[in-house]
């Protein structure tokens, strides 16, 4: 059954698949990871804040994002951002932001909700005494968080953050619905152009599998190594 | 903003020839629920079997279960859907492949199968975590009473495991419902796909997506409340999360 397979199509399109498609996928993953970690930490701090308005706002945001499918959110922002752009700049027409910007903003805002939950758990795992001790030393709220609580929270949550990053990496394939040539989009374009769906999709699956499996095996090792810190 | 809001759009007839735009969204809701419930049943059955195999003291079943989980967890769902939808009919004998392609409702069956396998790997991990979370003594006590291994699982371990992993299973079920939207890429007309086509026909982007959003939030609330009630009624006395002591 593999007799009429044309594996040459994969070799021919390797530069396009990797320098174009995979580069896009990895850039999107890295940038939205950075953005959503910062935003997620801020949302976690809001949720733990003693100001009720802030914590309600943050909880509402997290719950809404987690209730909706990512595909729907991708569509939402794709159509919503031009209007917001128009509103902010006062232009007379909706401003086209481009598929990459819209995907980046979507993933940053969406993943921030998940990272917020991770960071909240991390912050809550720090003993209360440390905060009291920092306050006794005369540290401000931001000093306490920045020098004492958050570094430890990040360290404790590294395995979860990495696992969520693998999920983010896999989820970026959903930009396919905006017909962006990310790795899967590129593979699918070649597949449809050359009529080689079987080869291209199997290859794409293999690449995703190898990267995610290697990453998750590494996370498991890491988890075992840092498991007994306390 | 010079966007033309038109909330009455849901009562206008859709260009598909039957019903209104509102009916269109409701049929999407129906397919979303049908897909995710069917996939969830499949995921529960497979996930429990694979998860139990992973905790068995036999090497080969455990290795098989490990491979199963890693395979279905490390390929994006969208890619898996493409594999089942585009690739599978080409790899089976030609006659069977043609039959698969011509099957009515093919996107639905494909979506259920890929979502079912994908979710089952996650369920399997939760079942394994649940078994591992039980005190070792329970397994030993079961064996000491003279129960066979299957009996230990059937009468001692699994009843506890199901009650322990109910909260993570709830969020996995919600994930399953949300993930069913990925099937729009293979042509399943579920809720998100319906909102998208309503937007394409009527240009009322925000009304369409707002309605879909509200429907998803409503599903979420129903499932969350239902499961919370179930959780309360099967809580194990003496464990965290149980009000009975």
Question: Which has the closest alpha carbon to A36: A119, A100, A97?
Answer: A119
The token duo for B164 is 């322990």
| pLDDT higher than 70, residue A108 | yes
Categorize the per-residue pLDDT at B1 as very low, low, confident or very high, splitting at 50, 70 and 90: low
| B87 CA: distance to closest CA in chain A (Å) | 5
Find the closest chain A residue to B75 by CA distance: A209
- Domain assignment present for B9: no
- Domain assignment present for A116: yes
The token duo for B45 is 């059955």
| pLDDT higher than 80, residue A83 | yes
- Domain assignment present for A101: yes
- Cα angle at B78 between B123 and A1, to 5 degrees? 100
- What per-residue confidence (pLDDT) applies to A84? 86
- Domain assignment present for A1: no
- What per-residue confidence (pLDDT) applies to B145? 93
Separation CA B96–CA B101 (nearest Å): 9
The stretch A149-175 carries a mean pLDDT of 93
- Which residues lie across from B20 on neighbouring strands? B13
The stretch B122-148 carries a mean pLDDT of 92
| pLDDT higher than 90, residue B125 | yes
| Inter-chain residue contact B217 with A68, CB threshold 8 Å | yes
More confident residue, B4 or B167: B167
| pLDDT higher than 80, residue B68 | yes
- Domain assignment present for B12: no
Residues of B in contact with A173 (CB under 8 A): 76, 78-79
Question: Which has the closest alpha carbon to B129: B98, B88, B164, B81?
Answer: B164
- Cα angle at A8 between A7 and A12, to 5 degrees? 130
The stretch B13-24 carries a mean pLDDT of 82
| pLDDT higher than 90, residue A92 | no
Q: Which of A151-160, B1-10, B35-44, B183-192 has the lowest mean pLDDT?
A: B1-10
| pLDDT higher than 70, residue A2 | no
Backbone angles phi, psi at A2, to 5 degrees: -90, 5
More confident residue, B238 or B161: B161
Asked if residues A208 and B76 have their Cβ atoms less than 8 Å apart, the reply is: yes
| pLDDT higher than 70, residue B240 | no
Question: Which has the closest alpha carbon to B30: B217, B185, B190?
Answer: B190
Residue B204 belongs to domain spanning? 18-234
Residues of B in contact with A86 (CB under 8 A): 1
More confident residue, A12 or A211: A211
Residues of A in contact with B78 (CB under 8 A): 173-174, 176, 184
| pLDDT higher than 60, residue A228 | no
Separation CA B31–CA B40 (nearest Å): 14
The closest CB to that of B213, out of A1, A68, A202, belongs to A68
The token duo for B129 is 């975590």
Residues of B in contact with A83 (CB under 8 A): 1, 3
Question: In this structure, what CATH number is given to the domain that contains residue B101?
Answer: 1.10.3720.10
More confident residue, B108 or B95: B108
The stretch B39-51 carries a mean pLDDT of 96
| B145 CA: distance to closest CA in chain A (Å) | 34
- What per-residue confidence (pLDDT) applies to B50? 96
- What per-residue confidence (pLDDT) applies to B220? 93
The stretch A115-120 carries a mean pLDDT of 94
| pLDDT higher than 80, residue A229 | no
| Inter-chain residue contact B178 with A216, CB threshold 8 Å | no
The token duo for B6 is 């038109």
Backbone angles phi, psi at B20, to 5 degrees: -100, 175
Find the closest chain B residue to A195 by CA distance: B86
Question: Which has the closest alpha carbon to B33: B220, B197, B229, B228?
Answer: B220
Say whether A89 sits in a helix, a strand or coil: helix
Q: What is the pTM of this model?
A: 0.90
Question: Which has the closest alpha carbon to B192: B27, B10, B20?
Answer: B27
- Domain assignment present for B197: yes
- Domain assignment present for A2: no
Is residue B21 classed exposed, middle or buried when 0-12, 13-18 and 19+ CB atoms within 10 A define those classes? buried
The stretch A126-141 carries a mean pLDDT of 93
| Inter-chain residue contact B216 with A69, CB threshold 8 Å | yes
- What per-residue confidence (pLDDT) applies to A192? 86
In chain A, the number of structural domains is 1
- Domain assignment present for A118: yes
| pLDDT higher than 60, residue A1 | no
Asked if residues B220 and A68 have their Cβ atoms less than 8 Å apart, the reply is: no
- What per-residue confidence (pLDDT) applies to B245? 46
Categorize the per-residue pLDDT at B53 as very low, low, confident or very high, splitting at 50, 70 and 90: very high
| B129 CA: distance to closest CA in chain A (Å) | 14
| Inter-chain residue contact B75 with A208, CB threshold 8 Å | yes
- Domain assignment present for A126: yes
| Inter-chain residue contact A67 with B195, CB threshold 8 Å | no
- What per-residue confidence (pLDDT) applies to A4? 67
Q: What is the mean pLDDT of chain A?
A: 90
- Domain assignment present for B95: yes
Separation CA B137–CA A78 (nearest Å): 54
- Domain assignment present for B2: no
In chain B, the number of structural domains is 1
- Which residues lie across from B13 on neighbouring strands? B20
- Cα angle at A71 between A67 and A72, to 5 degrees? 60
Q: Which of A44-53, A152-161, B14-23, B43-52 has the lowest mean pLDDT?
A: B14-23
The closest CB to that of B86, out of A79, A87, A197, belongs to A197
Q: Which one of B82, B101, B185, B198 makes the best mutation probe of the A interface by having the most chain A beta carbons within 10 Å?
A: B82
% of chain B residues with pLDDT over 70:
96
The stretch B95-123 carries a mean pLDDT of 91
Question: Which has the closest alpha carbon to B181: B232, B215, B155, B132?
Answer: B215
Which helix or strand (DSSP H or E) is residue B39 part of?
helix B21-55
Separation CA B183–CA B59 (nearest Å): 36
Half-sphere CA count of A195, side-chain side, radius 13 A? 1
Separation CA B171–CA B126 (nearest Å): 11
Find the closest chain A residue to B211 by CA distance: A72
Q: Which of A86-90, A214-218, B121-125, B223-227 has the lowest mean pLDDT?
A: A86-90
| pLDDT higher than 50, residue B154 | yes
| A171 CA: distance to closest CA in chain B (Å) | 7
% of chain A residues with pLDDT over 70:
97
Chain A residues interacting with chain B (CB cutoff of 8 angstroms): 1, 64, 66-72, 75-76, 79-80, 83, 86-87, 170-171, 173-174, 176-177, 184, 188, 197-198, 201-202, 204-205, 208-209, 212-213, 216
| Inter-chain residue contact A198 with B196, CB threshold 8 Å | no
Separation CA B244–CA B78 (nearest Å): 43
Q: What is the mean pLDDT of chain B?
A: 90
- What per-residue confidence (pLDDT) applies to A6? 73
The stretch A20-30 carries a mean pLDDT of 92
Residue A60 belongs to domain spanning? 7-226
% of chain B residues with pLDDT over 90:
62
Residues of A in contact with B199 (CB under 8 A): 75, 79
- Domain assignment present for B98: yes
Q: Which one of A72, A107, A114 makes the best mutation probe of the B interface by having the most chain B beta carbons within 10 Å?
A: A72
| pLDDT higher than 60, residue B244 | no
The stretch A163-174 carries a mean pLDDT of 94
Asked if residues A93 and A86 have their Cβ atoms less than 8 Å apart, the reply is: yes
Question: In this structure, what CATH number is given to the domain that contains residue A81?
Answer: 1.10.3720.10
């Amino acid at each position: 059954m593999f007799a009429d397979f044309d594996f040459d199509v994969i070799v021919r399109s390797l530069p396009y698949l990797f320098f174009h498609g995979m580069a896009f996928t990895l850039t999107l993953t890295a940038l939205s990871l950075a953005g959503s970690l910062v935003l997620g930490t801020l949302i976690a701090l809001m949720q733990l804040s003693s100001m009720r308005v802030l914590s309600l706002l943050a909880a509402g945001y997290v719950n809404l994002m987690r209730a909706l499918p990512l595909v729907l959110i991708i569509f939402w922002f794709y159509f919503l951002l031009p209007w917001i752009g128009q509103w902010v700049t006062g232009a007379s027409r909706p401003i086209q932001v481009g598929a990459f910007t819209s995907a980046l903003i979507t993933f940053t805002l969406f993943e921030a909700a998940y990272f917020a939950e991770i960071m909240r758990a991390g912050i809550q795992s720090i003993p209360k005494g440390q905060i009291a001790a920092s306050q006794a030393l005369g540290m401000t709220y931001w000093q306490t968080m920045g020098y004492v609580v958050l570094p430890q929270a990040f360290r404790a949550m590294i395995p979860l953050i990495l696992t969520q990053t693998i999920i983010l990496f896999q989820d970026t394939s959903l930009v396919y619905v905006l017909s962006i040539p990310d790795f899967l989009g590129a593979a699918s374009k070649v597949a449809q152009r050359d009529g080689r769906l079987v080869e291209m999709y199997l290859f794409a699956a293999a690449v995703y599998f190898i990267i995610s499996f290697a990453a998750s095996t590494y996370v498991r090792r890491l988890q075992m190594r840092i498991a007994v810190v306390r | 903003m010079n966007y033309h809001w038109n909330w009455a759009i849901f009562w206008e007839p859709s260009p598909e020839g039957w019903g209104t735009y509102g009916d269109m969204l409701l049929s999407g809701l129906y397919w979303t629920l049908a897909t995710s419930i069917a996939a969830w049943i499949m995921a529960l059955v497979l996930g429990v079997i694979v998860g139990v195999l992973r905790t068995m003291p036999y090497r080969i079943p455990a290795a098989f279960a490990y491979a199963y989980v890693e395979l279905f967890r490390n390929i994006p769902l969208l890619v898996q859907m493409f594999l089942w939808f585009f690739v599978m009919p080409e790899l089976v004998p030609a006659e069977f492949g043609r039959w698969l392609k011509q099957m009515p409702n093919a996107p639905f069956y494909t979506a259920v199968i890929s979502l079912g396998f994908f979710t089952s790997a996650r369920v399997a991990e939760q079942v394994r975590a649940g078994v591992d979370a039980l005190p070792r003594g329970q397994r030993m006590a079961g064996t000491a009473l003279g129960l066979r291994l299957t009996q230990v699982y059937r009468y001692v371990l699994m009843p506890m495991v199901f009650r322990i992993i109910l909260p993570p299973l709830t969020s996995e079920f919600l994930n399953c419902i949300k993930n069913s939207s990925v099937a729009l890429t293979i042509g399943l007309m579920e809720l998100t796909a319906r909102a998208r086509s309503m937007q394409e026909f009527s240009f009322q982007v925000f009304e369409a997506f707002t309605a879909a959003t509200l429907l998803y939030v409503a599903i979420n609330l129903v499932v969350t409340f239902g499961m919370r009630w179930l959780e309360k009624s099967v809580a194990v006395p003496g464990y965290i999360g149980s009000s009975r002591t």
